[in-house]
Structure 1
Amino acid sequence: MNHTLNLGTVTWRKSSYSDGGRNNCVEVADGLPVIVPVHDSKVPHGPVFRFPSSAWTAFLGWLKDSRSSMA
């Protein structure tokens, strides 16, 4: 069984949590069933971090809660 993921076919999008500046550009790829690939847009052929979908969802929930508590 081949467990290699071909990230050459995914569509990257800038995270809405990036600040839009040149130094903070995180891109994520959606649509994969069990993982969320994340990379630095300034280094498109650099390392890709792969997070379990459940961990990514929990992280985004934490961000939303953190932002709302700062308002």
Structure 2
Amino acid sequence: MNAARAIWFKSSHSNGDGGDCLEVSPSFPAMVPVRDSKLSASPTLVFSHAGWAALVSAMKEPA
């Protein structure tokens, strides 16, 4: 994966004051790259589609 060619989208749940911002890229059909928008040069987490769906589902469940 060459993250330099990725197109990134900020989460619709990110707040507007510059904190808690997550970006996801749909540029790679076999994976879901995720990064911190405040630290775009930092390492990128890469999930399979099933792994990303499981993470998002788990985060929606009440604690």
* Same fold per superposition (TM over 0.5): yes
The answer to which of 40-49 and 28-37 deviates more is 28-37
**How does the TM-score come out when normalised to structure 1?**
0.71
In the comparison of the two structures, how many residue pairs are matched? 63
Question: 2 CA distance for matches of 1:24 and 1:34?
Answer: 26
CA distance in 2, matches of 1:15, 1:38: 10
Q: Does 1:47 align with 2:43?
A: yes
Segments of structure 2 that go 5 or more residues without pairing to the other structure are none
* Sequence identity percentage: 35
Gaps of 5+ in 1: none
Question: In structure 1, the residue corresponding to 2:39 is in which secondary structure?
Answer: coil
Displaced runs of 4 or more, over 4 A? none
> What is the CA distance between 1:33 and its match in structure 2?
1.9
Q: 1:57 deviation in Å?
A: 1.5
Residue matched to 1:30:
26
RMSD between superposed Cα atoms in Å: 2.0
Letter in 2 for 1:51: F
Structure 2 counterpart of 1:62, from 53, 58, 61? 58
Cα distance in structure 2, aligned partners of 1:19 and 1:44: 17
Per chain length, whose mean CA-contact separation is higher, i.e. which structure has more relative contact order (CA < 8 Å, sep 6+)? 2
**Cα distance in 2 between the residues matched to 1:13 and 1:29:** 6
